[in-house]
Amino acid sequence: MQSEKLKTWLTSRDSEVRLVHGNYEPAKISPVSYLCAMLAESLENLKPTRVIHFFCGRHTELRDPLSDACGMVKSLLVQLLSQETFDTSFLRHSDVQRIINNDPESMCNLFCELVERLNSTVALFCIIDGINFFETSQRVHATHDFLNRLVDLVRENSMNAVFKLLITSPTTTSRDLRTLFSGDEIILVPSCVTRSGYGFGDKQMAGRTGNDLRLEERYRVEEADENKEDEGDQNVVRGLICDGTISDDNGSDGDTEDEVVGSDVDDLD
Query: pLDDT digits over 60-95, tens only?
Result: 998 999 999 999 999 999 999 999 999 989 999 999
For position 197, what pLDDT does the model report?
Answer: 52
**What is the reported pTM?**
0.73
For position 82, what pLDDT does the model report?
Answer: 94
Mean pLDDT, the chain, rounded, equals: 77
Q: Which positions of the chain have pLDDT values less than 70?
A: 193-269
Q: Which class in CATH covers the domain with range 4-267? A: alpha beta
For position 172, what pLDDT does the model report?
Answer: 87
Q: Where are the domains of the chain?
A: 4-267
For position 190, what pLDDT does the model report?
Answer: 82
For position 86, what pLDDT does the model report?
Answer: 93
What string of H, E and C letters represents the secondary structure of the chain? Answer: CCCHHHHHHHHCCCCEEEEEECCCCCCCCCHHHHHHHHHHHHHCCCCCEEEEEEEHHHCCCCCCCCCCHHHHHHHHHHHHHHHCCCCCCCCCHHHHHHHHCCCHHHHHHHHHHHHHCCCCCCEEEEEEECHHHHCCCCCHHHHHHHHHHHHHHHHCCCCCCEEEEEEEECCCCCHHHHCCCCHHHEEECCCCCCCCCCCCCCHHHHHHHCCCCCCCCCCCCCHHHCCCCCHHHHCCCCCCCECCECCCCCCCCCCCCCCCCCCCHHHCC
